[in-house]
Structure 1
Amino acid sequence: MHPWGGSEELWAEAALCLQQAGHQVTVLKTVFEAEHPRVRQLRAAGCAVEGLNQHSAFARRIVNRALPARWQWTLLDSQVAQVRQHLRQAQPDLVVVAQGSNFDGIPFADACRRGNHPFVLISQKAAEIFFPPAQLRVAARLAYPAARHCYFVSQHNLALTQYQMGLALDRASVVPNPFNVPHAGELPWPAPGAVVRLACVARLEVLDKGQDVLLQVLALPKWRQRPLHVSFFGSGVDGPALQDMAALLGLTGRVTWAGQVPDIAAVWASHHALVLSSRYEGLPLALIEAMLCGRPAIATAAGGTAELLVDNETGFLAGAATVPALDEALERAWARYAEWPALGRHAAAHARAQVPAKPGQLLSQLLLHQAATA
């Protein structure tokens, strides 16, 4: 389990804004690394950041696997007990339960509900195939309506969460994640070259990000014959498996494993378009950043992707994370390669119009409103 994920940027930015405005913020993290740069930044700003009991390294690995709900709840018990104790002592004006998905924080939300502590929920992802286990679903149907507000990063995730619970959420809205490029960050088009360069910016975890599908598309005979190169940016547990798969498919030299990079704008200075083959998403941060930098995208219609990517206007949408669907979208894109600079400019303008310049600051203002009415 990683000590920090992209799904944590929204609450972190909001926490910094609140602390800088004179409010006291305490952060309780389930996976904690004291020397992580973001943890150090939060502490330097005055936030109290504490790690919840993480059990043994073996137990932490178990929690990250698809085990029966009763096992996961048992492993969470000590963390939930710590949260309950902290809430009783601190009596906060508002609790923010920030979830990496749409149900993984429910035990903490349930603790807030049972203790009558005002709280909001943030959900970063929802997957059609993952309905909550029965025990967790019962708790979710109580926790979500009890929240002061429920924040999602896409309308797709909001709607899907309601379907999975069989419950309408009257107090729910969408706030996108912060991004790591300037809001007015459109870049010059890369210098012309003999090869079309695509970047796949996503953690290397195939269950969500589907890079295995993209590799199979690249291995099709017609794509082998075209001057196309894909750079994979990111890290993750499936990195070695994906590299072995690429070697088996004979893609050595046609793909690059570029790892994690600190400067995402530098990626778009040298690449022509984004390609994403995700199976599940919230709203891809990589898509927002690529569009703001003036790059079109070829992406699967996962999560909120289709809410930002306008098919054939700011990029090319694949109907599903399958080889035929992604191949079809990539073929449409290839046929219009001469138009990519114009599509990129349209993408940048569209993203600026749809995505607020400072999502973390926006969330902080919404949280203050919820605290004032709690």
Structure 2
Amino acid sequence: MRFVIVSSCPVDWGGSEELWARAAHFLIQSGHQVHVFKTNVNPHHPRIIALRDAGCTVTDLYQLLPVLRRLRNRLVPYRWLNGQDGTLQLLKKALQVIRPHLTIVAQGNNFDGIKFADLCRHQNLPYVLIAQKAVHCLYPYDGDRPMIQRAYQSAERCFFVSQHNVELTRWQLSLPLPNAKVVFNPVNVSFDASEVSSFPSFADGVRLACVARLDIFDKGQDILLEVLTKPKWRARQWQITFFGAGPHRQAVEELTHFLNIADRTHFAGHVPNPAVIWQTHHALILPSRSEGLPLAMVETMLCSRPSIITNVGGVAELLTDNETGFLAATPTADAIDDALERAWQRLADWPQMGARARQYALDRVPADAIEQFGHQLLQLVNHTESAPNLVLQ
């Protein structure tokens, strides 16, 4: 079988790309062809190297936009980028040659890859959509709605990472979406209990980990820092480590100095194995403004640690307030302060809450998420008409 994967992620690599990338390896190992088309390909990124080494072709959809690639201007609206004639023409010609049995359009949110899906629809090629996030403020404009609605209605399947994202997309498009299905992203920690670190001592104070892309628009690190400037938090013994990279690293770091809490915050960059974080940290703090289902939270639960996190996206579908963690009702300073205060008053319960969180995740998160997703893709191909037997020249 021939599969095409189109990723609309506008950066070198995003967490939203792990699902399709690992699915690509699964499909190749199962004997199928996979051709990847991605916006902004960094040929030196380890994930891209691994895909090519496995046998994927990887094509940069922005190769006809050299100025844009050099500038890496993240502020240009996605809808303008995806509408570039050169980008769509490149993909159109490739699809005409490959004639894939199935195209997977992988989106960071629920609308940013729609032009690619619409291209498949016009060519009568079966496709699926993946939406890693849905955000209340990203309502489609009236001029775009018909195309988006057709793209979702014509997809063989619409995959989401939380039921919340399914319901919000239904609401935004005024469509029932009977072809919607919730899938899990793969995790980067072991399910083996022997690899879970024992709970660290509080002797040197509370160590919180904020594991998230340094992107204030989505992850809300600025809200958390606002909370920690309150007199009661300045008087308490805590440290926060920011794990991750992103476009707001400098902004967040400068803000810690501006607020005079730089001595209590650390920036550790990206950590390939998140389990290492929980050898020294007690809980996850995630003040997100928007989410799908945060992988950092799932991995934290599997590592037997509680989470303090805003109730956005599908968070409440996996985390139970006051039992496996603490939910902030909204992504605001007052709500996050409330959740953090409740957590602080129950420090002694954190080890038991972490153990409950792990069991809760084990009962619900599949260890073979990629295999399940890969088999669903293969089943969809078996239910669609076979494409002409053409290969990439």
Identify the match of residue 21 of structure 2 among 4, 12, 20: 12
Deviation of 1:322 (Å): 0.5
Q: Distance in 2 between matches of 1:373 and 1:74?
A: 31
Task: Provide the residue aligned with 2:278 in structure 1.
Answer: 268
Q: Distance in 1 between matches of 2:126 and 2:77?
A: 31
Task: Provide the residue aligned with 2:320 in structure 1.
Answer: 310
Identify the match of residue 97 of structure 1 among 105, 110, 114: 105
| 3-state SS in 2 of match to 1:280 | coil
Q: Is the 8 A contact 1:186 1:348 kept in 2?
A: no
Deviates more, 1:158-167 or 1:340-349: 158-167
Matched, 1:341 2:351: yes
Identify the match of residue 251 of structure 1 among 243, 261, 265: 261
Task: Provide the residue aligned with 1:181 in structure 2.
Answer: 189
| 3-state SS in 1 of match to 2:187 | coil
Q: Distance in 2 between matches of 1:373 and 1:255?
A: 53
Deviates more, 1:86-95 or 1:57-66: 57-66
Identify the match of residue 50 of structure 1 among 49, 55, 59: 59
Q: TM-score, normalised by structure 2?
A: 0.91
Identify the match of residue 82 of structure 1 among 90, 98, 107: 90
Deviates more, 1:240-249 or 1:117-126: 240-249
Matched, 1:23 2:39: no
RMSD, aligned α-carbons: 1.6
| 3-state SS in 2 of match to 1:25 | strand
Q: Distance in 2 between matches of 1:9 and 1:206?
A: 22
Matched, 1:217 2:245: no
Q: Distance in 1 between matches of 2:91 and 2:167?
A: 29
Deviates more, 1:260-269 or 1:211-220: 260-269
Report the AA paired with residue 47 of structure 2.
R
Report the AA paired with residue 366 of structure 1.
Q
| 3-state SS in 1 of match to 2:181 | strand
- Change over 3 Å in CA distance of 1:56–1:134 after alignment to 2: farther
Q: Distance in 1 between matches of 2:245 and 2:25?
A: 27
Gaps of 5+ in 2: 1-9, 385-393
Report the AA paired with residue 346 of structure 1.
R
| 3-state SS in 1 of match to 2:262 | coil
Task: Provide the residue aligned with 1:165 in structure 2.
Answer: 173
- Change over 3 Å in CA distance of 1:83–1:132 after alignment to 2: same
Q: Deviations over 1:310-364 (max 9, x none)?
A: 1011000000110110000011111110010000000001111111112222110
Deviation of 1:171 (Å): 0.7
Q: Distance in 1 between matches of 2:256 and 2:158?
A: 41
Deviates more, 1:293-302 or 1:135-144: 135-144
Written as runs of structure 1 = structure 2, the 5 A alignment for 1:120-131 is 120-131=128-139
Task: Provide the residue aligned with 2:390 in structure 1.
Answer: none
Task: Provide the residue aligned with 2:158 in structure 1.
Answer: 150
| 3-state SS in 1 of match to 2:327 | strand
Report the AA paired with residue 17 of structure 2.
E
| 3-state SS in 2 of match to 1:298 | strand
Q: Distance in 2 between matches of 1:132 and 1:61?
A: 27
| 3-state SS in 2 of match to 1:134 | coil
Deviation of 1:60 (Å): 7.1
Q: Is the 8 A contact 2:105 2:113 kept in 1?
A: yes
Q: Is the 8 A contact 2:214 2:244 kept in 1?
A: yes
Q: Is the 8 A contact 2:163 2:182 kept in 1?
A: yes
Task: Provide the residue aligned with 1:32 in structure 2.
Answer: 41
| 3-state SS in 1 of match to 2:118 | helix
Runs of 4+ in 1 over 4 A off after TM superposition: 59-63
Fraction of identical pairs, as percent:
47
Q: TM-score, normalised by structure 1?
A: 0.96
Report the AA paired with residue 11 of structure 2.
H
| 3-state SS in 1 of match to 2:104 | strand
Q: Deviations over 1:198-218 (max 9, x none)?
A: 000001111100000000111
Identify the match of residue 237 of structure 2 among 221, 227, 234: 227
Report the AA paired with residue 338 of structure 2.
E
Gaps of 5+ in 1: none
Deviation of 1:73 (Å): 4.6
Report the AA paired with residue 237 of structure 2.
P
